[in-house]
Amino acid sequence: MSAVRQSFIPARISILLLLFSGLEYSFGIYGKSRFCPSQCSCVGDLMDCSRRKLEKVPEQLPGWIVQLKLSNNNLDFIPDLGPVSENLTLISLAHNKIGELNSEQLKPFQSLETLDLSNNNISKLKSLSFPSMNLKYLYISNNRISSMEAGCFDNLSSTLQVLKLNRNKISSIPHKMFKLSQLRLQHLDLSRNRIRKVDGLTFQGLVALKSLKIQRNGISKLMDGAFWGLSSMEVLQLDYNNLTEVSKGWLYGLVMLQQLHLSQNAISRIRHDAWEFCQKLSELDLTSNQLARLDESSFVGLSLLGKLHIGNNKVSFIADGAFRGLSSLYALDLKNNEISWTIEDMNGAFSALDKLRILSLQGNRIRSITKKAFSGLDALEHLDLGNNAIMSIQENAFSQMKKLLELHLNTSSLLCDCQLKWLPQWVVDNQFQTFINASCAHPQLLKGKSIFTVNQDDFVCDDFPKPQITVQPETQSAIKGSNVSFICSAASSSDSPMTFAWKKDNEALNEAEIENYAHLRTQGGDVMEYTTILRLRAVDFSNEGKYQCVISNHFGSSYSTKAKLTVNSKLTIKAIVYLLTDTSSG
């Protein structure tokens, strides 16, 4: 940036600058006049010789320098600075052409704490690269490092606190890399390398490490114990890799972990017990993965978790107890998933989240909101339902949220009938208008009108276009091997096409045998009635569960009650009969 700026300095000012840089003395912080070489500028104890196209360092450096900047020059090795070296605490050699690190060249820098070698041409870290020295901050980002020898940082083990190796070509971390414990290392950056697999015990020895960045590597395999030994680690960044599952195998030993960042991977599975070792976790980011379901076990043990990000996945199933243990959760992001069914046919998934303050549900194709949808969310302050083509909202759906401050809604699909009459006034009373853009799609007369401009008396129920369940499926018990069917019917005043689906234990039955019928019911006006029959052939115990039909049209979905199927073996029945006859004869 500033190189560019310099080249645009007008000619007159350049002459002035030339005049000034000819001054060989400047005033240091102590007021004493100090020697400053003409190629450099000096402020306090810092001498800045960056951006001078230097191929070597000015001769006779003054003895007062403590910090030296030589970045953006053409140096191709670590310079010999003579006696000045011994008191330097910082040297920046970023953006040069240094190709090799060598312990002899570094030896004179006995007070050095910060060494910046980023953006050079270093390709190898050999085991003798560093002499014993007191380095605390070492930056070797953006070089060409493809190989590191085990133990290359051993001589820095009692002082090094920050090590940046990001943007190199590292493809593997050697076994026993940190074999001499790095007692002080707190931050290690390995992001943007080419590590595809992390073996067990790779980081053993990093006893003080607090954060590890290893995102953007293309990691597809984390072996069991990959992070074992990182017993102080609080932040682990694994975003933009190719991970497919979360398991306790690779989380083993991360007992202090507070933040785990896993966004932009290919995770489709969270193994049961995954969090056994990570009970201190306060933030978990799983944005942009392939999760399709959240099971009862998905978040077990995370009682301190405050923020959970699951946006941009494919979640379509949330088990009833999926969030049960998350007693500290205050922010939950579920945007851009497919959880319309969970919201529309609420089965208590959110009810345990009584500390939740922020819930993002935008982009989930939610069409209707029942009055139980958010029950239990008594502390909610911010609810985002934007980008859902919502058609109906039952009265009192939000009424238990006494602390609600923001409700975001944008829909142009509302079914503006008598059921929705309450909404405009409620929005106004609660001062949510600024977040809400809601207009009617039905009835025809109100189409396109904002709910705030519709007259109260125009919210009427002349028809019922949304399907209404008329026949509920029935609970039954069956003998193993027999055929079973469930029947479900719904009626609607609209001739918009119906779709039928069946769910078992809240999950869609995709391969089921289903028959659907439509018939005109004539009494009480022309009404279409639809029946769907689910057939289960030769049932066995795996068919046991709760069955439910979902009947949808353009105006929304209706969910039947859940009918339970129990399956008995013939043997059990024979045994019961036998026992009965046996006792009666005895």
Residues 509 to 568 in contact with ligand NAG, rule: CB under 6 A: 537
267, 247 Cβ separation under 8 angstroms: no
Cα–chain center distance at 541? 38
Q: Could you say whether residue 128 binds ligand NAG (CB under 6 A)?
A: yes
Give CA separation, 490 vs 229, 529, 532, 551, 557, in Å: 60, 6, 9, 7, 10
Distance separating alpha carbons of residues 44 and 127, to the nearest angstrom: 36
Task: Answer yes or no: are the C-beta atoms of 253 and 278 closer than 8 Å.
Answer: no
In the DSSP assignment, the letter for residue 233 is: -
Alpha carbon 44 to chain centroid distance? 45
Tell the residue number behind the tokens 């003895």, with chain if given: 63
The answer to the question of residue 146 lying near ligand NAG (CB under 6 A) is no
Binding residues for ligand NAG, total number by CB under 6 A: 29
Q: Which of 72, 337, 411, 492 binds ligand NAG (CB under 6 A)?
A: 411
Query: What sign has the CA pseudo-torsion 162, 166, 170, 173?
Result: positive
Looking at residues 155 to 184 of the shown chain, list those that interact with ligand NAG (rule: CB under 6 A).
155
132 is a contact residue toward ligand NAG (CB under 6 A) = yes
* Beta strand segments in 130-184, E: 137-139, 147-148, 162-164
Query: To the nearest whole angstrom, how small is the minimum distance from the Cβ of residue 104 to ligand NAG?
Result: 9
Q: Name the residue nearer to ligand NAG (CB basis): 309 or 408.
A: 408
Site for ligand NAG in 475-514 (CB under 6 A): 482-483
Q: Please state the closest distance from residue 215 (CB atom) to ligand NAG, in A.
A: 12
In 3-state terms, the chain is what percent helix, strand and coil (to 5)? 15, 25, 60
Q: Does 123 contact ligand NAG by CB under 6 A?
A: yes
- Identify the bridge partners of residue 27 per DSSP, sorted by sequence position: 33
Binding test (CB under 6 A) with ligand NAG, winner from 21, 39, 41, 87? 87
In 371-522, beta strands by DSSP E? 382-384, 392-393, 406-415, 436-442, 468-471, 476-479, 484-492, 499-504, 507-508, 513-521
Instruction: Using the minimum distance from each CB to ligand NAG, give the nearer residue, 176 or 403.
Output: 176
585 class by beta-carbon count within 10 Å (0-12 exposed, 13-18 middle, 19+ buried): exposed
Give the binding range for ligand NAG (CB under 6 A) out of 13-21, 37-45, 371-379, 407-415.
407-415
Give ∠ CA 257-194-191 in degrees, rounded to 5. 40
Please report whether residue 116 would count as binding ligand NAG according to CB under 6 A.
no
Dihedral Cα 534, 535, 538, 540, nearest 10 deg? 0
CB of 216 to ligand NAG, least distance (A): 9
Cβ nearer to ligand NAG, comparing 232 with 242 = 242
Which CB, 130 or 486, lies closer to ligand NAG? 130
Out of 412, 470, 472, 494, the residue judged to bind ligand NAG by CB under 6 A: 412
In the bound state with ligand NAG, the residue whose beta carbon lies nearer, of 413 and 560, is 413
Task: Assess 389 for contact with ligand NAG (CB under 6 A).
Answer: yes
Output 61 or 352, the one with its CB closest to ligand NAG: 61
Single out the residue of 114, 242, 370, 394 in contact with ligand NAG (rule: CB under 6 A): 242
Could you say whether residue 318 binds ligand NAG (CB under 6 A)?
no
Return the residue of 6, 218, 354, 576 that touches ligand NAG, per CB under 6 A: 218
| Interface stretch with ligand NAG, choices 12-20, 127-135, 300-308, 400-408 (CB under 6 A) | 127-135
Q: How far is the CB of 424 from ligand NAG (least distance, A)?
A: 15
Among 127, 347, 375, 499, binds ligand NAG (CB under 6 A): 127
Backbone dihedral angles phi then psi of residue 264, each to the nearest 5 degrees: 55, 50
Does 392 bind ligand NAG (CB under 6 A)? Our answer is no
From 109, 130, 227, 275, residue interacting with ligand NAG (rule: CB under 6 A): 130
List 42, 84, 177, 549, residue binding ligand NAG (CB under 6 A):
84
φ, ψ at 11 (rounded to 5°)? -55, -45
Report the residue number whose CB is nearest to ligand NAG: 218
Cα 329 to chain centroid, rounded: 15
67 Ramachandran zone, left/alpha/beta (phi>0; psi -120 to 50): beta
In the complex, the residues that contact ligand NAG under the rule CB under 6 A are 63, 83-84, 86-87, 97, 99, 121, 123, 127-128, 130-132, 151, 154-155, 218, 242, 386-387, 389, 410-412, 437, 482-483, 537
